[in-house]
Amino acid sequence: MSDKLIIEGGIPLSGEISISGAKNAALPILVATLLCDEPVILSNVPYLYDITTVMKLLNQIGVRLLINERMQIEVDTQNVHCYFAPYDLVKSMRASILVLGPLLAKYGEASVSLPGGCAIGARPVNLHIEGMRALGAQVTLEGGHVKARAKKRLKGATIVLSKVTVTGTENILMAAVLAEGRTIIRNAACEPEVCDLAKFLNAMGARICGIGTDTLIVDGVKRLHGGYYKVISDRIEAGTYLVASAMTRGKVRVNHIDPSLLSNLLGKLCLAGAYLRYGNDWIELDMQGRQPKAVDIVTAPYPAIPTDMQAQLMAMNAVSEGSAKVTETIFENRFMHVCEMQRMGADISLHNNTAMIRGKPYLQAALVTATDLRASASLVLAGLMAINGETVVEGIGHIDRGYEYLEEKLLQLGARVRRVIDHPLNRVFSQQAESIVD
């Protein structure tokens, strides 16, 4: 069981909010502090379940973490004594695999439980493992763990990734910064979060060139020092609120976000009929009260439309004028939100990796269940345009993995939304209420 969100839809969002630090940048950067010989201070780290999971993991392997009231985190890795990421943490957050590269590069040894299945597809880690092997490590799979060892310092190599992988690129990059000689990573992911990790590593003394391109060139150094670094803001969070604003026919300004990180998404929102204004670190979207027009979407690696925005854009199309196709090219099985949206009256049909959506002005309130992080977000967005009652989104724990203060921010934009906390007492009371009804 986890908390529920109850939404009364049909109200245009209006107002402004501040965008939090990027989860997918903060996670690898927190892990990359393992490579540093001196303390690191990180700011703009979001307060999220995935972040506390990675902090728990770092803590278990001997990292000392000090957090102040503004979520500035001081990380000191001088007492690392264990090189193991256990299954209970890895299964709740796949990104735990990111400790493989840094532990191996710094301590010559790492053992990480295999992440296993996940709600949005198989998500293998073969490219992470091949990368470590190319750098000279011995990697074996034993009892459900990836075990990597390097007798001496890793050695630079040319690695051509057969598929663009975000955490795979990050893992290899972190291993390569302490390797001897030059590593070239071709077909590297160039997502802004990968760039932020590379910039962090350079700020701590690494020598990485080609940041922002699909070829990263890393000249290995013997050690990284400590320092201060501010994590970039979350383009997926910003995109989610902009889409929410477009589909509710509202007017919303998101602050603390660089618009250039979302250019393809902003293009789609323009096609949907939004009026956009932006500055260096803000974006304002105004629908002038009109229903959006349905837009075709194909997800692909950066700078194309991110797979992490697919579900939210599907929700927008479901309440748009006309019909559109949404094609998912990154993950198989990332359409778990479709049947829940259909329960809210959305007209969606699935053909392999493509969804055909015929828009309508409103959806119908219903009880729906969230299955993964972005699917949960899309159901909340759908709830904002669902009428004739209240939408109840169950399994909202997924949202807490990736959206900081979601309901507070929605309330700030005028949405009618409230959380029901899954407290043991609530369960007792609801069981009593049920037995009274019986």
Q: Are 140 and 111 in contact (CB under 8 A)?
A: no
SS3 431: helix
Pattern of binders to ligand UD1 over 64-103, x per CB under 6 A? ------------------------------xx--------
Is 350:374 a contact under the CB 8 Å cutoff?
no
Q: What sign has the CA pseudo-torsion 390, 392, 396, 402?
A: negative
User: Measured from the CB atom, is 27 or 287 closer to ligand UD1?
Assistant: 27
Count of CB atoms within 10 A of residue 135's CB?
A: 26
Does 309 interact with ligand UD1 (rule: CB under 6 A)?
no
Radius of gyration of the chain (CA): 22
Check residue 127 for interaction with ligand UD1 (CB under 6 A). Answer: yes
Shortest distance (Å) from residue 176 CB to ligand UD1 = 16
Q: How far is the CB of 302 from ligand UD1 (least distance, A)?
A: 8
Three-state DSSP class for residue 137? coil
Q: In the complex with ligand UD1, which residue's Cβ is closer, 366 or 380?
A: 380
Query: Quick one: CA dihedral 43, 44, 45, 46, positive or negative?
Result: positive
Write down the least CB distance from residue 427 to ligand UD1, Å. Answer: 32
Distance from CA of residue 99 to its chain's centroid? 17
Q: Which of 4, 106, 128, 398 binds ligand UD1 (CB under 6 A)?
A: 128
List the catalytic residues.
118
Q: Which stretch binds ligand UD1 (CB under 6 A): 117-125, 266-274, 342-350, 427-435?
A: 117-125
In the complex with ligand UD1, the residue whose CB is nearer, 168 or 250, is: 168
**Residue 330 interacts with ligand UD1 (CB under 6 A): yes or no:** yes
- CB 231, min distance to ligand UD1, A: 13
116 near ligand UD1, judged by CB under 6 A: no
Tell me how far apart the alpha carbons of residues 311 and 378 are, in angstroms, rounded to a whole number.
Answer: 5
Identify the burial level of 273 via C-beta atoms within 10 angstroms of its C-beta, where 0-12 means exposed, 13-18 middle and 19 or more buried. Answer: middle
Mark residues 14-33: x for contact with ligand UD1 by CB under 6 A, - for none: ----------x--x------
Q: Shortest gap between Cβ of 120 and ligand UD1 (angstroms)?
A: 8
d(CA 373, CA 366): 19
Q: Kindly provide the residue ranges of all beta strands, DSSP E only, lying in 174-322, ordered along the sequence.
A: 182-186, 207-209, 215-219, 227-230, 251-255, 275-279, 282-286, 297-298
Question: Are the C-beta atoms of 428 and 41 separated by less than 8 Å?
Answer: no
**Contact with ligand UD1 (CB under 6 A): which of 237, 308, 328, 407?**
308
Q: How far is the CB of 63 from ligand UD1 (least distance, A)?
A: 19
Residue 167 near ligand UD1 by CB under 6 A: yes
Considering the rule CB under 6 A, would residue 125 count as an interface residue with ligand UD1?
A: yes
Amino acid type, 128: H
Closer residue to ligand UD1, CB minimum distance, 328 or 407: 328
Nearer to ligand UD1, 14 or 333 (CB): 333
Amino acid letter, residue 18: S
Report whether 362 contacts 12 (CB < 8 A): no
Closer residue to ligand UD1 (CB): 37 or 258: 258
Strands (E) located in 265-353: 275-279, 282-286, 297-298, 323-327, 347-351
Q: Binding of ligand UD1 at residue 229 (CB under 6 A)?
A: no
Interaction of residue 171 with ligand UD1, rule CB under 6 A: no
Any contact of residue 166 with ligand UD1 (CB under 6 A)?
yes
Taking CB under 6 A as the rule, does residue 165 contact ligand UD1? yes
DSSP-assigned beta bridge partners for residue 113? 145
Residue 331 touching ligand UD1 (CB under 6 A):
yes
Q: How far apart are the first and last CA of the chain?
A: 23
Determine if 240 is a binding residue for ligand UD1 (CB under 6 A): no
Using rule CB under 6 A, residue 315 touches ligand UD1: no
- Give dist(CA 249, CA 384) in Å, integer: 11
Among 361, 268, 286, residue whose Cα is nearest residue 322: 361
How many residues bind ligand UD1, per CB under 6 A?
21
Give min distance, CB of 125 to ligand UD1, in A.
5
**Can you give the binding site for ligand UD1, defined by CB under 6 A?**
24, 27, 94-95, 123-128, 163, 165-168, 193, 306-308, 330-331
